[in-house]
Chains A and B, each alone.
Chain A
Amino acid sequence: MIDSLAVSLFSLVGVPLAAFVLVGLAAILNLQLKESGIRGVVSVVILALVLSTLVVGGEILLSTRHLAQWEPGHWFKIGNYEFEFLFRADALSFPILVVTTILSAASGLFSFQYLHREEGFSRFFLLYLLFVAGMNLTLLAGTIDLLVAGWEMVGISSALLIGFFHYRDQPAQHGYTAWIAYRICDVALILATVAWHQQFDTARFDVSPQGLPEPRLLLAILLLVASLAKSAQLPLSWWLPKAMEGPTPSSALFYGGLSIHAGAYLLLRTRVVWQASGLVPFLIVLIGVSTAIYGTTVGLARPDAKSKLAFACLSQVGLIFAEIGLGLTTLAIWHLMGHALLRTLQFLRAPSLLQDHNLFGTSPASGPRFWERMSPDAFRTWIYRQAVAGFSLEESLRWAVVGPVLKVAVFFERVEDGWLARFAPRDESKGGLK
């Protein structure tokens, strides 16, 4: 007998992944898929996602534990160590899964028209499918190992979609910037995964808070760093405004709706680990509130709609972080869902802002706010200058991190070339060593 729950949980990850492999293989083999073919594949995926989400929802409602779980076995097993497959939809992941399905379907359908006859039509949907599979895997992962797999899939698709318009220099550079931020969080998450295994002797999330060994601070901080970069929280927020170079549907899906909340989801999923340590919840609140203030202030001085939305996103995700840090889990989940839905809509409507203005007479710009009228001129000027410069966040990071790294690298290169030059003198006719 077919287990409908197993099929549904598998379909949520497996169907988009299979479609990704299909479209990817066609691209690699140089088979030109028509737009209609890709639309057909994506429509089937969307239908499968909707049906599977409904089945999983029904199963959760009928279950006494409000939990739908499927354990197909392990991927590999060597000695006593095994990489488990465990899919799980519960009170935390299911609401976000519903939002994911709605937004993925909406963005997919929207993109059929929006990217019609666009040069990279199939490339967009290839990455879209990878993202949907990755996001669903992240949400349904019952083990931290599986979560890492989904997390990296989301990161790869995100960086490549930012550089979607690759024939211009800026989007390509910004994709690289996002890639660097994602690698920072991936390094932290991979280390957190190994530390998790060492501490709990299992990769499962459902560890008992009573049996937790000490110390957990290192693990908690690694999880925090991973979530900061993915959700663009301070000081790792520099990449989010640059990420707006991608096509509008991907900006909506990634940075308005889903990917930006993956860090918050990670914190919610692993709260049993960091909640007990006094320092990490405090840090989460501090970073969240600072990011909210930073996002709001800088957003005020942005001249274009997408950048404004990006900074508004930062502020809201900052507030969600603060709620998580304060232990307001239910509020954070509702906030996350509401924000994802609203922001995706705003992003998708952003290209039509002027049209809306002409049609409905709404004003995209409002008058001075209350605090603007009340604050002294000198302060207001100073704060706007800082906001326009983004509080020099990027310059500070360049000075404190990128500069020293490059200096060290250049120094190493000089040492290396000096050593090589002793044995293989530069041969001008061959173009030298480099």
Chain B
Amino acid sequence: MRALFSAGGFLATLYYWWPLPAMDPNSWPALLGVAYGAICFCLILLSAPRKENRTVVFSLLFLQVMNAGVLFLGDLRLVGLCWLLGLFPAAVSRSGNRWQWLARNRLYLYYQVLGAFSLLAALYFLGSLHAEWFLITRLPLLAAPGGSTAILAGTCVLFSVWVRLGLFPFHAGSLSLLKDSPLPLGIGLLTAPGAFALFLRVALPLCPLTETSLTLVRALVISSLYLAFLGVVQKSPRKWLGLLYPILISAATLGWAMPSHLGVMGSVYLWVTAMLSTTGLGIVLWLVEERTGLERWSEGGGWVRVMPGIAAFFFIFGLSAVNVPGTFGFLGEDLVLQATFATEPLTAALSVIAMGLLAVTMYRGYLLLFLGKVNAEMPACDLLPRERWSLLLLLLLLVGFGLSF
């Protein structure tokens, strides 16, 4: 059964890869699809021999289908349905008693219910505008005569995306979920693959850039500084990983609010970087957890001697998360900052400082886990070939995208 599930998973991920040979840097759905396909491929490859295989593979396949719906469907009602159903894997990720899980993660559930209602409200507002409101291609046409109603609907969609992504202040919900779920599934959920599509296909045409969206982005960037500060004193690797994602996405959102192709493309590139590098880091931490039962950074120390491959991948994915040259993120950061600096120099500067702090926290994690004196002796337990190749695939995408565009 496990083998059957895994085989199905691999086959299902392959269809995401069809645009790869003719990849156009301006084609964001193709780019997101390839990146998400790669993530699922790696996670399934890693989960195949494990107990939780069925849950993980099923959830990832389900998420893939929902993601494809949000990326490519032309009917807004179906897009909304796919988006809402994308929450379902969170429910199967629970460990132990279902009610206990609900109690532990009720903050996450409150937030998601809020996000779902927000999307339903958007659909309701749009429904009042025109008979063919549900055709995505018609959304820009609704915006002009719809006026404030269309803007309200767009804002509701934006709010729903915000909540699902766990951006400030909704990151707290994701943190509790990440603590509780099998890490690969937590990563899959955190990447919230359809969010960018929902934003670009629905929210942006309805709600053109205004001073309000700029204010939101400013707030988001300031909040990313707050989260970066939190990262400096984090004791738990999982929680650090949960903070990493909103910080990276906040940097990406800076490009959203800029009225230029440069900003939007930079934003897509940063988004893809966030997905790939967070997944890479998540997998690495998961492998360390499996081998050592790690719960706190301080339990580590000197492990580079027994797991040099894992340490190397941790550092490399950490570097790619902070957008070093040669990776896709460097390109994205460059574009976003070029688009932003002219009108929002302070916001751009804060975003760069947040990334600087993130780099410091990344090195701190590397130091605490892998460098220094050995805290506890253990036998060599470096990467298995399957693990090595799946991490290498993510790395090749991060570097390959970065060099080929």
Cβ 8 A contact of A183, one of B295, B313, B341, B359: B359
Interface membership of A323, Cβ < 8 A:
no
Instruction: Give the residues in chain B near A424, CB-CB below 8 Å.
Output: 104-107, 176
Task: List residues 127-161 of chain A with CB under 8 A from any CB of chain B.
Answer: 145, 148-149, 152-153, 156, 159
User: How many B residues face the partner with a CB closer than 8 A?
Assistant: 69
Majority SS at the chain B contact face: helix
- B113 on the A face (CB < 8 A): no
A405/B261 contact (C-beta < 8 A), A167-B374, A183-B359, A424-B106 known: no
B229–A405 CB distance below 8 A: yes
Say yes or no for A371: interface residue by CB 8 A criterion.
no
Q: Is A30 interfacial (CB 8 A cutoff)?
A: yes
- How far is B150's CA from A72's CA once the two chains are assembled, in angstroms? 48
- Chain B residues lying within 8 Å of A169, measured Cβ to Cβ, are 372-373
A434 B235 Cβ-Cβ under 8 A: yes
Known: A83-B334, A156-B319, A186-B356. A406 touches B232 (CB 8 A): yes
* B309 neighbours in A (Cβ, 8 Å): 28, 30
Given contacts A78-B25, A406-B233, A412-B229, contact A187 B325 (CB under 8 A): no
Q: How far is the CA of A314 from the CA of B223 in the complex (A)?
A: 38
Chain A: CB-nearest residue to B363: A179
Q: Mark A13-56, 1 if CB is under 8 A from B, else 0.
A: 00000000000000111100000000000000000000000000
Report the Cα distance A83→B110, complex, angstroms. 45
> Are A409 and B373 touching (Cβ within 8 A)?
no
> Which of A169, A173, A187, A423 has the most chain B CB within a 10 Å cutoff?
A423
Inter-chain contact B382/A167, CB cutoff 8 Å:
no
B302: chain A residues at CB < 8 Å are 166-167
A420 to B373, CA, bound (A): 34
Known: A145-B334, A183-B356. A167 touches B364 (CB 8 A): no
Interface assignment of B220: CB less than 8 Å from any CB of chain A: no
Count of A interface residues, CB-CB < 8 Å: 54
How many residue-residue contacts, CB under 8 A, span A and B? 143
Q: Which of B175, B355, B370 contacts A420 (CB 8 A)?
A: B175
B interface residue numbers (CB < 8 A to A): 25-26, 104-107, 110, 172, 175-176, 179, 226, 229-230, 232-236, 239, 260-262, 265, 295-296, 302, 304-305, 308-309, 312-313, 319, 324-326, 330-331, 333-335, 337-338, 341-342, 345, 348-349, 352-353, 355-356, 359-360, 363-364, 367, 370-374, 382-383, 388, 392, 395, 405
- Residues of B near A167 (CB, < 8 A) are 302, 305, 372-374
Interface centre among B107, B261, B341, B363 (most CB of A within 10 A): B363
The answer to whether B236 touches A434, judged by C-beta atoms less than 8 angstroms apart, is yes
The interface stretch among A189-197, A283-291, A297-305, A391-399 is A189-197
